[in-house]
Amino acid sequence: MITQSEITRLLELARKASQNAYAPYSKYAVGAAVMDEQDRIFTGCNIENASYGLTICAERTAIFNARCNGAVRFKAIAVYTPKPPLPVPCGACLQVMAEGGNRPVVIVGCHEEQERIFAFEDLLPKAFSL
């Protein structure tokens, strides 16, 4: 269960992370903040590259940052962009979130639109797992 104050905090940290995005091609800056089961928060932003396959989404940057710092399971992730549309995570990011049986609450926000909260299963109901 995630509280409204945690949602607000995650969205604010994701908003701040979006300011560090490197998005010269899409012009779509995105920030993410992931909270682990110990309530530690890790952030990330999208980083584009002229060789498009080398681009990484904000969600994966935040999750990889968390994993590098010892976090394993996540209770929530917030994704924010300053301009529409709402930044719903892509399939690759959702699959990374699902690794290890993890199913975090997904919060998306945009400066110009109302935030939305999704149960993970609503976004990726058939996540691959070994």
- CB count in 10 Å sphere of residue 114: 8
pLDDT confidence bin for 101, thresholds 50/70/90: confident
Band (pLDDT 50/70/90 cuts) for residue 1 is confident
The reported pLDDT for the residue numbered 88 is 95
CA distance 57 to 11: 16
Specify whether 12 is catalytic: no
* 113 confidence band (pLDDT: 50, 70, 90): confident
pTM: 0.95
Q: Does domain 4-123 have CATH number 3.40.140.10?
A: yes
Q: What percent of the chain has pLDDT over 70?
A: 99
- Among 37, 48, 59, 115, which one carries the catalytic annotation? 59
Q: How far is CA 33 from CA 10, 104, 127, 129, in A?
A: 6, 12, 21, 24
Indicate the domain borders of the chain: 4-123
Per residue in 7-23, pLDDT tens? 999 999 999 999 999 99
In whole angstroms, what is the distance from residue 70 CA to residue 68 CA? Answer: 6
| 29-75 residue pLDDT tens | 999 999 999 999 999 999 999 999 999 999 999 999 999 999 999 99
